[in-house]
Amino acid sequence: MRLQAKLFMRVAFGAALAVTAGAFAQAATAVPGQDEMNIVDQPGYQPTPEEEQLTGAYEKQEVFFRTKEAPGTIIIDTQDRFLYLIQPGNRALRYGIGVGREGFQWSGLQKISRKQEWPDWRPPPEMITRQPYLPRFMAGGPGNPLGARAMYLGATVYRIHGTNQPQTIGHAVSSGCFRLVNEDVIDLYNRVPMGTRVIIKQAVAL
């Protein structure tokens, strides 16, 4: 009996250590900036259809979402890397997104002021400074870093747009824009009109 009791205590202690380690691991992944992706833009790269297929949490899906905002509103959660398109009945279409790196994230209320299919790309000066090899202009197309569609936010330089780097979805990678895989950005583009209300929520630093 004593031997069984000792074995039970060892198993219980080991389980407790595993739970504690898991909790510390989860806490570590929540550190701001830790999930930033050290990746450069790849103008001209065309991902395969397999690369553009998201799975798991970042795959487009309908979810329960309680809000007072009207259906048709877009809510962007920069902390959890999701864009929500509000639907009736406390539901929303949820899309996985890539967001701005630390120091480039922002919050506020905007409206979609312009929509563009296969937008041209003109890297801003600060991006050219970081990556001087980038072209100063690139016409829209499958290898364009802005992807298949772009929705411009008010009078800002920021957009909701596609990407030719689907592996960046779920990460903090951009200079403040919000990126979706091309299939998702086309779907969103077709669902929202000009003037759509867009609420950007920034993570609160602890």
Cα-flanking dihedrals φ and ψ of residue 95, to 5°?
-120, 140
User: Element (H or E) spanning 15, and its range?
Assistant: helix 2-29
**Percentages (nearest 5) of helix, strand, coil residues in the chain:** 25, 25, 50
Contact status, residue 47 vs residue 147, Cβ threshold 8 Å: no
Report whether 71 contacts 199 (CB < 8 A): no
Between CA 206 and CA 201 the distance in angstroms is 15
Among 41, 51, 38, CA closest to 161: 41
Are 203 and 32 contacting, i.e. CB atoms less than 8 angstroms apart?
yes
Local structure of 40: helix, strand or coil: coil
The catalytic residue positions are 161, 177
Dist. CA 117–CA 165, nearest whole Å? 18
Residue 5, both tokens: 């009791």
Using CA atoms, how far apart are residues 96 and 26, in angstroms rounded to an integer? 20
